[in-house]
A = this chain, B = another copy of it.
Amino acid sequence: MPGKFTFFSEYIHHNIAEFSEGEYNHIVNVTRYDIGDFIEFTDGKGHLFKGKLIEINKRSCKVEIQETILQELPSLWIAMGILKNSDRMEWAVEKCTELGVFSLTFLHTKNSERSKINLDRLRKTAISAIKQSHTSHLPQMEDLKFTEFINQFSGEKFNYMNKYIAFCDISNLGDMINVNGNSISISNLISNSKDLKNNDLIAIGPEGDFSLEEVALALTKGFRLLDLGNRILRSETAVVSTCAIANHN
């Protein structure tokens, strides 16, 4: 009797789900499910399905959905500076997916040491993570230039959200920050980890952190400064730690 696994399919039409390639191989050859067996799977869009394996072909198989469970979606939005080390980015994607994240945006920032990312590979990492954790939401993922990101989240659609930009050197920002001719008092703009909620938007910089200009831009567009405390954390550690804390608070 096969153990409990969650598979992944994006090819669902009416009540038939199709599995091919890696998933097919896992179901038929590795776990050795057979016609009539029940399997659990997700579409990555918030649904967990139970279905009966009804057809096995040479390279694909079909499952007839018997039960659909709509799961609660995560609501946390995280934006992270693109890191030089892609393994560390994959760790962050895997861990945030396990802990619960609605959307992951990868930011091209001034201090990013890498300009290309392999979104397809990161997506595969997230798919493995939702299968492993038996969850049903595949995080939205895209990469954006920092300014595009700020503009996107300044829109009315995101007015309800609390938006944070983490910055290590807050004490060096001074008392006031001058943006577009206006003086803004820094101290009124600082939050810490205790303020975070599970439906916030949180931006964390790359190894070299955000630049002063990037922080200033974010502050003019409704972001608050996020003080993550005294300890120096690697970028991906700050991302995963913050994800855990925001979901926990």
A-to-B contact residues, CB < 8 Å: 91, 95, 98-100, 132-135, 193-194, 231-234, 237, 240-241, 244-245, 248
Which one of B135, B231, B237, B240 lies within 8 Å of A231 (CB-CB)?
B135
Copies of chain A in the complex? 2
Kindly list chain B residues whose C-beta atoms are within 8 Å of the C-beta of A134.
232
Q: Are A233 and B99 in contact (CB under 8 A)?
A: yes
Chosen A-B contacts, 13 in total, with CB atoms closer than 8 Å, are A91-B91, A95-B241, A99-B233, A99-B237, A132-B234, A133-B232, A135-B231, A240-B240, A240-B241, A241-B241, A245-B245, A245-B248, A248-B248
Minimum C-beta distance from A239 to chain B (A): 11
Contact B95 A240 (CB under 8 A): yes
Q: State the CA gap A248–B135 with chains docked (Å).
A: 26
Contacts A95-B240, A98-B233, A240-B240 aside, 4 further interface pairs with beta carbons under 8 A come to A91-B91, A98-B234, A132-B232, A135-B231
